[in-house]
Structure formats: structure tokens, C-alpha cells
Structure 1
């Protein structure tokens, strides 16, 4: 009996010591844990796979002990995918809590209204917190990767500030922006008033992109929309400089010349009737709304006043007088 008693005491002490040592370990700083270190747990990763990803990032986490800690705390199946930031002095326990709560490290990127796809792709390529899966792909290849039946994503991404999980792929971000724009476009098309001169929702999106490039002034958008809608209705050419500039592409040096207006491209609305074949920029929601709700106006012309606003005219004579006044310094 004495032997059994001693064995039980020894076993109890051993378990207590082991438990104490395990508790101590769970709250000790992890070797390699420094500020700004990040690692990514891929979707579908098991706890042990997550530990391997931590080890690859430079964290000396012992897989068996970490798995035991997770089971002991009831968090073994609760880890969430994402990118996690480590702080100096991070412990196994605090790290496990992050994984279980999904406290991922996020960054943001802004798609500015009026940007072209080329401008946004340049911003994506330069963002240090993204995985650049789209780099080297053509616009049509990106659309194909996302399962979109489009040759280009121009105008198809909704301008906004997007939060994203650090080290996630830029294709995921593009897909979100494309989905957001499509949802807004579908909603506007379903609620469109009668009489608009668009055969498809895509044509309305093209119009919205032109409005976006023609004015940034909130109160002028619906009036700019009215001018172009009125022209479409009577078969008058749109004659809008931003479409010509877009058609010139990287050859445009910032100075629009008469020869440019006379040189035919699919986007030259001086030489071709109707809307250009694709949007020319990423329109914001205000421009999209204006395309579907143009002002009640008979204006066919407008000219910049020089203060950011525009003067709208119904006749060519009135327009010429406005051009002389606002652009040539006449009275």
C-alpha cells in the first residue's frame, strides 16, 4: 500500500509539474516573434499546416505542444484562414487566440473615380501588402480568370476603398470590385425610367464613364448626362474629348490637338456616331446615377466656365457665345 501511495503522489506531482511547465511554455515569448513579422494561413489549413506556415515565416512554434494547447483550450478546430501580424513577445497562447478569433491583419486600397484600368492595375502592382497574381496577365486574361465574359474590365470596377486581408491575391480584390459594380449596374438597369436611349446596361455604363470624365461637379452631372442623351436621341455625334484621349492611349502627351480630333479610332466620337465600344474609365456611383437620371433639359452643348462648372446651351449660337465668353475672354 505504501508503494502505491508513493506512486500516486509521485504521479500527481509529475502531472502538476508537467502542467505547470506547459502553462509556463504557453505564455513565454516565441523565438523569432518580432514586430512586423507576418504569416498567412491558407484556407482549409489544419492546425499542423498552420504551424508549418508559421515556421516558414520564422516563428519557432513546436507543433505537438501547440496542437496540445489548442485541444486543451478547445480551439483545435477553430483556426481561421488569413494573414496574421506578430508582435514582439508574442506567446503561443496569444497567437492561438488570434488564430481562433480570426484577428487578421488588414490593409486597404482605393480605386479612385475616373481612373482607368491601367491606372488601377499600376496601383495594385505597387501595393506591398498584396500578392500580385494579376501581374503579367492581359486585361482579357484577368477577366477570363475571374470567369467574366468580357474582353476588358475597363469601367467594370466600382470605385471605393477596399479593405483586404494582407498577402491575399489582387485577383480576389478585382473580383470584389467587379462584383460590386455589376450589382449596382444591374440594380440601376432594373429600375431605369422609360425612354432612355440605351439598348443595354453596358451602354449605360459607357455613358456613366463619359460623364465621370467630363465633370467632377455634383450638380452638373445630370446636365452633362442630358446633353449626351439628347444627342443620342437625335443621332448627333457626342463629340467628347475624353473619348478621343482614351483612344489615343499611351500616345497622348497631355495636349489634345485638332489632328487628334480628326484621326479616326473606335473611341473618336467626333468621327463616329453613337457611344464608344467600352467605358473609358471607372465611373463612380454619382455618374452612374446621372446616366440613368439625366436632367430634364433640351441642352445639346456645354462648355467649361473655368471654375469647375459648365454652361449649358440649347442652340449652337448660344453655345458659340458661351465659348467666346468663357474660353476666349469675350463678353
Structure 2
């Protein structure tokens, strides 16, 4: 009888111990383990991170780090860290958290437009995905890549069509560049290529002219008319005489793209730069900024007219007055000069 009691006690103790162990394991795996109030929290895990870095990143979001580590060890996550952006839902348990960090890399929206230089673009992208601006700039300006794909240091910005794209946060600089090349080729449909050919322009030249149109007017409905003026001048062999190209030439010459220039002076027109379309015929060597798609399509679908000149319309700000003759243009220009002098805009 005594032995039976001892055996019974041992069995009961075993059941209790096993129950406690099972409860502990269950609690570690399936009990909620988050400490934040929002519906979701996001982790950005670097591509080369080890588990110590993950611990540091996730610690502020968890109630119990020890149980998280235990589950991470059992599920093999500690030796299989993957970079990316991950979501942790409020009230998630360790099992859910580890599953998310193992396989649920979330895409991010990457958007860019209006960048004036390739360095500006690299800086803009570096704020949205993992690679820093130096890594991106090195990828963007690779001479081998540019040469193989028909670009050069002057036209390299033309490859990046401004829009919003989905990427994984841990996309590398080279992967980003290759994706943008695909998007560029996708943008240039057969229809767009035919329109460029009809204008006797290459895609890069279309984008170069579009960058001038983009800088000349922010009014989307006016861009086809402005594009028509420049195309008329190109066809007739007339200098473009576009003020935005002079402004770009000044910024490039002084290496100061942050300069604000509201007025082009006569002395500026003497600057010896291939971007100065008052001195050099035809298009500048490459884009003077990143034109948006409306400006590109304005060049491909220009308004047909006989205008050769235009100047800011001080009676309808944001728009321009167009002229077919120099005499008419000079009258329009005089009105503009009178207004700008009254504003005391010196530069």
C-alpha cells in the first residue's frame, strides 16, 4: 500500500510538472507578447543583421523578450535572419511574430519626381529603401551600365520615369537600377516610340525637351503648346533660347543646384555652356531636370500651331502669351519686363 501511494504521488507530481511545463511552453508560444498600443508596428531589419540586432529592434515592442528568444531558437529563426520591412500586429504571440519575420516581407511604395540631378535622385531614393545615397549614386553612374544601355553622364537621369513603384525595402542599389531600366523600357511603348520617330527624336531627346517644357510651365494644359513652340524652332533651325536651360547652365557652372534664380540677365546669356540654348543650337546634352509624364507626353503629342515665341503672361499668372512674330513677342515681352521691374526682382 505504501509503495502504491509513493507511485501515485510520483504520477501526480509528474502530471502537475508536465502540466506546468506544457502551460509554460504554450504560454511562450501562443500567449500575446506585444507592448504597443497601435494596431501594427513595423520593423526594418537590415540585410546583414544578426539576431542581436533583431533583439535590439524588437525589444521595445515586446512584453517578454525571453519567451521570444526561446521560440525564435526552436523555430530556427536565430540562424535564418532575413532583411526587409515586417509588420507585428497588436496582441500577436511569439509564434505569429516569428512567422511574420520569416516570410512576410512587406513591399514599400517608392515615389520620386522633379529631381534636378542624379545625386538628388539618389538622395530621394535612399530615404525610402535600405541602400544609402552613395551606394545608389555609384549604381546610377556606373559607366559600364550606362554604356551598355545607351546612356551617358548627361542623359542618365532620363532613365528614371517619375512615378510610384512597389519595392521591397531591402532592395539593393543595383536591383533598384535594373528595375528602373525595365520600367523605362516598359514606358516606351511602340506607340510612344513611333511618335518620337515622327518627331525625329530619340527617347532620350524627347525627355530632354520635356524637361525644358516641364521647367517652363507648371500648367499641364499649356505644356503641349509650349512643346509645339520648341519643336517649331527645332524644325526651322532657330535657337531654342530657353531660360530654364540658362539657369541650369549657371547652376552646373557654379556647382550650386540649390541656387534660386528668378530672373535671367543678359550677361547670363554669354555663359559658354552646351546647356545655354541662347548660344548653342538644338537640344541641350541631356535633361535639365526630371520631367513628369505629362511633360513627356506633351512633347510626343504637341499642339500644332505657328507660334515661335512665348513669355510669361502677367495678366494670367502661371500661363504665357504666345506669338508668331518677333514684333508681337517684343510687345508681350515689354509688358513682362515692366512688371518684373516693378517687382524689383534683380536675380
Q: TM-score range by the shorter chain?
A: 0.7 to 0.9
Matches within 5 A, 1:239-254: 239-249=241-251, 251=254, 253=259, 254=261
In 2, Cα distance between equivalents of 1:140 and 1:237: 35
Please tell me whether the aligned partners of residues 112 and 163 of structure 2 are also in contact (alpha carbons under 8 angstroms): yes
Q: Which has the higher helix share?
A: 2
The TM-score, its normalising length taken from structure 2, stands at 0.72
Please tell me whether the aligned partners of residues 80 and 99 of structure 1 are also in contact (alpha carbons under 8 angstroms): yes
What is the Cα deviation at residue 28 of structure 1? 5.0
In 1, Cα distance between equivalents of 2:144 and 2:196: 31
Please tell me whether the aligned partners of residues 205 and 288 of structure 1 are also in contact (alpha carbons under 8 angstroms): yes
Show the counterpart of 2:62: none
Matches within 5 A, 1:1-331: 16-28=19-31, 38-40=43-45, 42=47, 51=51, 53-55=53-55, 57=57, 59=59, 60=65, 65-66=71-72, 68=74, 70=75, 81-84=83-86, 91-99=93-101, 102=104, 104=106, 106=108, 110-113=111-114, 115-124=116-125, 127=127, 130-135=129-134, 142-144=140-142, 147-149=145-147, 150-152=151-153, 153-162=156-165, 165-166=168-169, 173=176, 176-177=179-180, 179-186=182-189, 189-192=192-195, 195-198=198-201, 200-249=202-251, 251=254, 253=259, 254=261, 255-306=263-314, 307-328=317-338
Please tell me whether the aligned partners of residues 39 and 85 of structure 1 are also in contact (alpha carbons under 8 angstroms): no
In 2, Cα distance between equivalents of 1:187 and 1:140: 31
What is the Cα deviation at residue 262 of structure 1? 1.4
What is the Cα deviation at residue 58 of structure 1? 5.9
Show the counterpart of 1:46: none
- SS of 1:283's equivalent in the other structure is coil
Please tell me whether the aligned partners of residues 207 and 275 of structure 1 are also in contact (alpha carbons under 8 angstroms): yes
Extract unaligned runs of 5+ from structure 1: 44-48
In 2, Cα distance between equivalents of 1:266 and 1:123: 27
What is the Cα deviation at residue 140 of structure 1? 6.5
Extract unaligned runs of 5+ from structure 2: 60-64, 340-347
RMSD, matched Cα: 4.1
What is the Cα deviation at residue 286 of structure 1? 0.4
- SS of 1:135's equivalent in the other structure is helix
Please tell me whether the aligned partners of residues 186 and 201 of structure 1 are also in contact (alpha carbons under 8 angstroms): no
Change (3 A) 1:143 1:182: farther
What is the Cα deviation at residue 325 of structure 1? 3.4
Please tell me whether the aligned partners of residues 79 and 101 of structure 1 are also in contact (alpha carbons under 8 angstroms): no
